[in-house]
Chain A
Amino acid sequence: MPQAIAAVNDFVVKFANVNGSGSASANELFARSILRMGVPVSPRNIFPSNIQGLPTWYEVRVTEKGHLGRRGGVDMMVAMNPQTWAEDVKEITPGGYLFYDSTKPMPSSMFREDINVIGVPLTAITNATYSDARQRQLFKNIIYVGALSVLLDIDEKEIQRLFGEQFKGKEKLIDSNVKAMNLGRDWVKQHVDPDLVKLKVRHADNVGDRIFVEGNSAAALGAVYGGATVCAWYPITPSSSLAEAFQSHCKKFRHDKVTGKAKYAIVQAEDELASIGMVIGAAWNGARSFTATSGPGISLMTEFIGLAYFAEVPAVLVNVQRGGPSTGMPTRTQQSDLLGCAYASNGDTKHVLLFPEDPRECFEFTADALDLADRLQTPVFVMTDLDIGMNHRLCKPFAWDESRVLDRGKVMTAEDLEAGKTFGRYLDVDGDGIPFRTYPGTHPTKGSYFTRGTTKDEFARYSEEGPVYVRNMERLQKKWETAKKIAPQPLRYSSPKPTRFGVIYFGSTSPAMDEALDHLEAEGHHVNALRVRSFPFAQSVEDFIHEHDRVFVVEQNRDAQLRTMLLSEYTLDARKIVPVLHYDGTPITARFIATDIATKLGQFKVVSFDKAAS
């Protein structure tokens, strides 16, 4: 028997449950109670594409240091699902803990020699107290939370407070939940050696003013703050909760106080083709609009995305990425739609992508995307993913500048037209590649034009003349250059010591990368880091690459898609850009990144790049 794992405020507990058994809220209660003790947690749902009956897991990383990426490894397994017992037991780190329902005796062959086992007769306790089947199911979950609170030293008062907030005004429910919690607590106190479990939670002060929220809800709130009035969508995992959150935020904030009427319109379209069509129609007509979808939805929208690019109609698409290709892994995470979105549609097209790292940036970038789409008159993608979108993540609180106005971009008004300003829908008047537009119905005799996906001249007249076409394409390229300057700029994190090595990463990789940089630094590997936050890449991305001999590009896909985009945008020696790829559907971990980079660094140091190239 290896030594029992001992840790304070730094361990991973994984719950193995059955989908639809009501475990989700109990598990979230567990995570929140630790958070309330001032200790950061990072929970992740690992669930199948299923409604009821299949296995589901909830992994909570308790991390006083605030490492919010997935760590990997399980210190304690709460094994509540007989179906997955064998694999769950196998996953526990030697010296770790197995918590299970010991109501039915189990043969010793079902256990492992190198782990600590805590059996609590949950079913027996539950059945002795409750007769109703539904109550039995729900309270059994609360009973195990109570039991765990004693084993891990979680402050019961924090759990009680959470019950109070959750069931405010429903005193009976508060009492019955407290009672269930105490059933678990009392049993453990009477029957389990308090020193058996050496994983403990202690009060700390490391949460600060941070908030705990899901990226999808945050992005939806960003759409509300960013002034979106039209949302058209089609249900698809893992983005559906984004549109639903937009609905609930709007119910709260967007109804006229006098008439009760809605200052928004949400349409659940017949498919993704229709949802993007509605978004484009609304934006063409001057309303801010967006859709939320995932990879397969983007595939369907591709034709319309090309229209919006070429006809220069704003559109915001939040892509909550999941595992591809095709239907792929609907409930797993990946960053594998970069190329599909960046170059969506036929012909020479390219699109603006934003890469939020967490819910806070989901909020910020969705609001920004609405401004950017109007400013640039083009589709803008917010590239979030399941890991950010469907998990609660601790992040900086949302912030908003009260003086911020909606940037509607270059829109010619009736007054402008009346004053005799020249209106050419596709005429670049000031060199940024962005023309003026008019909203339909602006002026009785001026400013109307025909919007089309075919080629046209500066005044929106149909033309297939070669020079006219080339002029237009070159202007679009100029607009692309403008986008580089106004999209969210990359953030650089410099190593304390000079180094020849750099790493580029983006999106949900962020917390794991931060932690990996700490690991690498601790091992004496110095690496500068650049978090790319948008495409087209800002000039500083190219500068960063040129500054280093080797640049690792960390991504959660097989084909090194961001690397491909870097190589296509810049003239580079491809050998210099080294892919670090994780794509099994689970969120990338610091351990993976640090190990992979350290291994590769070791290889490079044998023969330095300069020597090899000379």
Chain B
Amino acid sequence: MTYIAKPRLHHPSLVKNKAGFTRRDYEGAVSTLCAGCGHDSISAAIIQACYELDILPHQVAKLSGIGCSSKAPTYFVGASHGFNTVHGRMPSVMTGANLANRDLIYMGVSGDGDSASIGLGQFAHVMRRGVNMTYIVMNNGVYGLTKGQFSATADKGSISKKGVSNPDSSIDMVSLAILMGATFVGRSFSGDKHQLVPLIKAAMDHKGAAFLDVISPCVAFNNHAGSTKSYDYVREHNEALNRIDFIETREEITTSYDPGTTKIVRQHDGSILRLRKLGEDYDPSDKVAAVKRVQEGLHAGEVVTGLLYVDPTPSDLHANLNTVDVPLNTLNAPELCPGTSALDKINASLR
């Protein structure tokens, strides 16, 4: 529905954030996805998160692969550069982009087809390299653009719209991300923005590989009885372990919290994740326990959501490579080219 132009002028009473932008400044083009698509809710959550984080829109680089989810970057933060790459290969492009300019904020958007099937290898490696990014998989368990085939995250035994039972085991992206070395891993539901927005904010602030698996029902092909990625199924089986509040460094904590109901995770940069426990006692900084809990949930048919794993002192690819503090794309001949006298010495050494 691209022919519907969004109004360029915003209402003067819209509230500006500390960066001087209104929430609408973080919007993108009108979505061409189906009405009711979970992906649009996730885009809205990204918009809200960027607005609340006072991000300069042009400092975001949005990258995606191919598929419905990968179209989503067009629909948020329109003032930033976006790159719709090739199927399943967004992680490598994002890695390269990140190497070129460490100062931008990298948002990778992908789907379950893009990341769990064709792109599983690159997904694993981008996590293990610790690329400083927020990687969101809009997970609907189905191929939408090609009309309803199972994806690799579709649960075994779930039923397609055409009535076929999925014979293959599903890939759990959360477990995989934790095992591959992501340092911030969460799962949420497109229909729960109260949980999702703070998770996105915390992921964007995280200085390392942050991954969010967001269950996002496909209203066209995977929202029927027998699907385990439908709105109804996820609502019934959502097992939220916590709710987080993301608190930036500059905000002072004035209230005290009952350690029985709240857990504070202080990250390396001083920012704070305040986790409100929902029921059980869950420590997301314990990697082994995180994998165990997620796997138990899978076994029990639960959709375990919340902040599932965080390493408060992550390292990123630039730190691992010991690159200079300025973006590599700002370096020029004087910094990069050793010059003629060095070349004379090289020539002399080769005789």
Contact = CB atoms under 8 A, between A and B. Distances in A.
Interface of A: 207, 209-213, 221, 224-227, 229-230, 232, 253-254, 256, 259-267, 269-271, 273-287, 289, 303-304, 307, 397-402, 404-406, 438-445, 448-454, 462
A438 B82 CA distance: 12
A462 B32 CA distance: 12
Contacts of B74: 450
Interface residues of B, number: 62
Interface stretch (B215-223, B255-263, B295-303, B332-340): B332-340
Interface in B89-140: 89, 91-101, 103-104, 121-122, 124-125, 129
Contacts of A404: 333, 337
B335 A307 contact: no
Given A287-B100, A287-B328, A399 B343 contact: yes
Contact of A406 (B73, B323, B333): B333
B99 A282 contact: yes
Interface centre among B96, B322, B342 (most CB of A within 10 A): B96
Nearest to B74: A450
B121 A270 contact: yes
B333 A281 contact: no
B33 interface: no
Nearest to B324: A261
B350 interface: yes
B147 interface: no
B336 to A, nearest CB: 4
Given A212-B351, A224-B336, A281-B97, 6 more contacts: A207-B351, A210-B351, A230-B96, A254-B336, A281-B99, A286-B329
B289 interface: no
B322 A229 contact: no
Contact of B100 (A207, A259, A289, A406): A289
Given A230-B328, A263-B331, A277-B85, A444 B351 contact: no
A247 to B, nearest CB: 11
Interface in B69-98: 73-74, 78-86, 89, 91-98
Nearest to B328: A229
A230 B101 CA distance: 11
Contacts of B101: 285-287, 439-441
A225 B81 CA distance: 29
A440 B96 contact: no
B350 A402 contact: no
B325 interface: yes
Contacts, number: 230
A448 B77 CA distance: 10
A459 B92 CA distance: 26
Nearest to B62: A450
A453 B86 contact: yes
B14 interface: no
A397 B347 contact: yes
B182 interface: no
A448 B58 contact: yes
Nearest to B83: A451
A452 B324 contact: no
B93 A277 contact: yes
Interface centre among A229, A266, A289 (most CB of B within 10 A): A229
A279 B122 CA distance: 14
A402 B343 CA distance: 10
A398 B346 contact: yes
Given A229-B328, A278-B92, A281-B92, A452 B84 contact: yes
A273 B83 contact: no
Interface in B244-270: none
Contact of B95 (A261, A281, A406): A281
Given A274-B125, A406-B332, A285 B96 contact: yes
Contact of B96 (A279, A398, A401, A454): A279
A265 B321 contact: yes
B97 A445 contact: no
